[in-house]
Structure 1
Amino acid sequence: MSSTVPIPFSEPPWLMGLPSAYYTESHRAWQKTCRTFVERTLMEGAPAWEKAGQVPGIHGLPGGLRVEDFDYLHTLIYTDEMARIGTKGPSGAITIGFAFGLPPILAFESRLLQERFAPDLISGKKRICIAITEPGAGSDVANIETTAVRSDCSNYYIVNGSKKWITNGIWSDYATMLVRTGGSGPSGLSLLIIPLKGYEGVTMRRMQFIGQTAAGTTFIDLEDVKVPVENLIGQENHGMSYVMKNFNHERLTISITVNRLARVAVSSTFEYCMKREAFGKTLIAQPVVRNRLARCGAALESHYMWVEGLVYQVSKMTKGRANAELGGLTALAKAQSGMVLNECANTAVLLFGGRIYREIMGSRIPGGSEDVMLDLSIRQLLRLYQVKTKELGFHSRSSSKL
């Protein structure tokens, strides 16, 4: 039994000693392993690393979990524990590129390409990032302008264009990059594995932001870059469908990370308010302070339980069904995470202070900006309703063509 009582809102309910139907002994053991890893390797150094914009080499990652025991709840636990440091930079430097750049290679490519790239990436000898966003195409992914044209000899794609806001790009040997190989719109896009560091025609420069400074956000210029045609992931002009399947994973992990950042802000403020005195009594004794903390706590815990439920559903569904059924809700949960962090970080600054405020905009935009996610969620939910209605032989009440 712990010798200390946790601060209110400092942990999700299942770690506050409350019953949960979700977690097995495997999950609980994994949580302890991840927490030990974070405490030993990240917690103390994270503020300095974020200030410096660089994370030193991290040797070893949490282990002891059998592959056959792994499910998406283990992902939730790992992601949540990594965000306990209260900033997205150091954890993002370690995981984001692999988390989003490698999965398309494993999911959609031939065994030959997997054998060429996966061993060095999984072992950490090489690094990879995901490169989708451009200066003129952020959440509007269908209008990507970076082109990949077949060479006269048909052995290469010649790639020209720019990518912006690419997390981990500056350190990456490769990028899983969305490029235009066909006509306009989403049906003309493909995914290529693009060599980066030291590769002819590739220029990269570090970008500086108010938050997540240690994650290596990068601007990439590509000028007549020759990429072997064998580096095509899956089929040509099918890249948009691959990216959309990857987006659900990205948005769900963003939701988990951002929720924990909000939790750090609220619980740290709660702890401070129990000690800080003003006008002859502690801040926590002031009704207006309690009201602010209550609003933040309600938003925080409601969002966590929603995300936790989504994660459980993903763990019990096939990938295809989860993408179809949960895409709209995942987009909505991602948008909501930024709103929750905004409220919690603002309250923390008013009552206490803290660096988490810098992470707000870097949480509301990546993975699809907030307004786009809100609209996308309704469009996908409407489309799912119409498909299911049609399958039952009924006519949908809505004639919308969204």
Structure 2
Amino acid sequence: MVSPAMLKGMNTEVYGEGHPFGDPAWYQAYNTPYYNDSHKQFRKLMREYVDEHIMSNVHDWDEKGVIPKEMYLEAGKQGTLALCIGRPWPEKYYGKAPWGFEPDYFHELIMYDEMSRTGSVGFQWGIAGGTTIGLPPVYHHGSEELKQRVVTPCVKGEKVCCLAITEPTAGSDVANLKCSAKLEGDHYILNGEKKWITNGIFADYFTVACRTGKPGVGGISLLLVEKDMPGVETRKMKCSGAWSCGTTYITFDDVKVPKGNLLGKEGKGFQYMMQNFNHERFAFCAMSTRFARVCLEDSLKFAGKRKTFGKTLIQHPVIRWKVAEMARMIEATHNWLEWITFQLNTMPKMEAMLKLGGHTALCKVQCTKVMEYCAREAAQIFGGLSYSRGGQGEKVERLNREVRAMAIPGGSEEIMLDLGVKQSTKLAQMAKMFAEAAPQQAAAKL
């Protein structure tokens, strides 16, 4: 029996509903080297925002296939859209952060984590997907005129930006993009097709990867295309899940794009995309891990009240085994994710780009595989309720349909596994080369 005296001096600060493994460990009275009072304050704000404005509406938005416009404005007001584009905080285009402190990557992790409690890929990608992946190239490489005109309204929720890379015949194989743009006077003439573009149907701006030069990655550039330009046609696609994120097929037919809408330099598009890949995959990792945790938490709640053969489900060893398997995978994965977040927080941007590519690629695979496993096991625990839209099994049913929406975009698991090993091998070779050169350099100075 635990007495009050035994608890004296212990960390007993629990946040959330208190279900075992239902929230990250630092929510549940465990010590942490990563989080401070600003993170606790932000966690509280995000949880209240999600519970008050989002949680009860997600199913309806998903069924209707659209998120109300006022939710984008609310997300802009909350500062979450500006937080999606990485560091540094875009004060010039948004203003000061509304929380009274400068956010870091752990604040961004908390944001993705708390918003993913909805158990909806469609909502997550619908409200912020385009901003997370489509706006950073404009923020980092666009002209000042473009930044003022595009970044400001997007981070405030007044406009929506999306990233248009994937084509009917080119996904992870970016070097084979066929969408092309030819410079004629003061305009690029853009022709081609893009497929599976998140937020495309309701986006105002498209960050488009297109071929402006030679074959291969060296001939790819990024153009900012505006929806009201003649020749832009969008068509909403029917997908298995993520219905409210506006997955779109886009056709560009002789679209005249002003030369000033080129992001950065011609032929540098692939390089600019690479600069945001770690950040994009970081977002995938954070969302997928919480989606897995949602499956676990909902399973625990359900198993505690559903009775079979005279016992609640959780009293059956086979169900506890399922919960334990989910818990060990989620906790290990979340620890890796927090380690990556710490590196993003403390490394200079170029160092993070070089060192974390392999880790974020492999972590994305880990996170989506854990999500898939937990979605399946939760479905087994819920039984027929996991096959019915809405009701007690709503989140589990939806996440089962949406696993592929996390495992394929941003780099499929197979591509990420290969990339992770290749990048880590190159990094190890570089480190060895520098280590061998160091004594010679030191001797030369003597």
> By the TM > 0.5 criterion, same fold?
yes
- Partner residue in 1 for 2:350: 320
- Partner residue in 2 for 1:286: 316
- Partner residue in 2 for 1:148: 181
Check conservation: 2:192, 2:253, Cα contact below 8 A.
yes
Distance (whole Å) between structure 2 residues aligned to residue 91 and residue 340 of structure 1: 18
- Partner residue in 2 for 1:376: 419
Determine if the alignment matches structure 1 residue 40 to structure 2 residue 40.
no
Provide the secondary structure at the position in 1 that maps to 2:74: coil
Provide the secondary structure at the position in 2 that maps to 1:129: strand
Distance (whole Å) between structure 2 residues aligned to residue 274 and residue 116 of structure 1: 53
Evaluate the alpha carbon distance shift between residue 30 and residue 134 of structure 1 in structure 2; reply closer, same or farther with a 3 A threshold: same
Q: Which digits, 9 at most, give the CA deviation of each residue in 1:339-387, with x for residues without a partner?
A: 0011100001111123221111111001011110011100110111122
- Partner residue in 2 for 1:50: 62
Check conservation: 1:10, 1:267, Cα contact below 8 A.
yes
Q: Which moved more, 1:232-241 or 1:284-293?
A: 284-293
Check conservation: 1:148, 1:158, Cα contact below 8 A.
yes
Provide the secondary structure at the position in 1 that maps to 2:233: strand
- Partner residue in 2 for 1:202: 232
Number of residue pairs aligned between Structure 1 and Structure 2 = 392
Check conservation: 2:231, 2:255, Cα contact below 8 A.
yes
- Partner residue in 2 for 1:119: 152
State the Cα RMSD in Å: 1.8
Deviation at 1:189, TM superposition (A): 0.5
Point out where structure 1 has 5 or more consecutive residues left out of the alignment. 395-402
Q: Which digits, 9 at most, give the CA deviation of each residue in 1:93-128, with x for residues without a partner?
A: 111111211111111233233233222223333221
Q: How does 1:2-401 map to 2 (within 5 A)?
A: 6-56=18-68, 57-58=70-71, 59-61=73-75, 62=78, 65=98, 69-151=102-184, 154-196=185-227, 198-352=228-382, 353=386, 354-355=396-397, 356-393=399-436
Q: Which moved more, 1:251-260 or 1:2-11?
A: 2-11
Point out where structure 2 has 5 or more consecutive residues left out of the alignment. 1-12, 80-96, 387-395, 438-446
Distance (whole Å) between structure 2 residues aligned to residue 4 and residue 148 of structure 1: 51
Following TM superposition, where does structure 1 have runs of at least 4 consecutive aligned residues deviating by more than 3 angstroms?
Answer: 1-5, 63-68
Provide the secondary structure at the position in 1 that maps to 2:302: helix
Deviation at 1:392, TM superposition (A): 2.6
Distance (whole Å) between structure 1 residues aligned to residue 167 and residue 149 of structure 2: 27
**TM-score scaled to structure 1, two decimals?**
0.94
Check conservation: 1:262, 1:300, Cα contact below 8 A.
yes
Work out the percentage of aligned pairs sharing the same amino acid.
39
Q: Which digits, 9 at most, give the CA deviation of each residue in 1:291-341, with x for residues without a partner?
A: 121111111111111101101110111111111110110011111111001
Check conservation: 1:26, 1:69, Cα contact below 8 A.
no
**TM-score scaled to structure 2, two decimals?**
0.85
Check conservation: 1:129, 1:168, Cα contact below 8 A.
yes
Q: Which digits, 9 at most, give the CA deviation of each residue in 1:116-160, with x for residues without a partner?
A: 322222333322101111110111112111101111xx2111111
- Partner residue in 2 for 1:397: none
Evaluate the alpha carbon distance shift between residue 67 and residue 247 of structure 1 in structure 2; reply closer, same or farther with a 3 A threshold: farther
Q: Which moved more, 1:63-72 or 1:243-252?
A: 63-72
Deviation at 1:68, TM superposition (A): 5.7
Q: Which digits, 9 at most, give the CA deviation of each residue in 1:219-255, with x for residues without a partner?
A: 0011111101110101100010110111111101011
Provide the secondary structure at the position in 2 that maps to 1:125: coil
Check conservation: 1:93, 1:214, Cα contact below 8 A.
yes
Check conservation: 1:30, 1:65, Cα contact below 8 A.
no
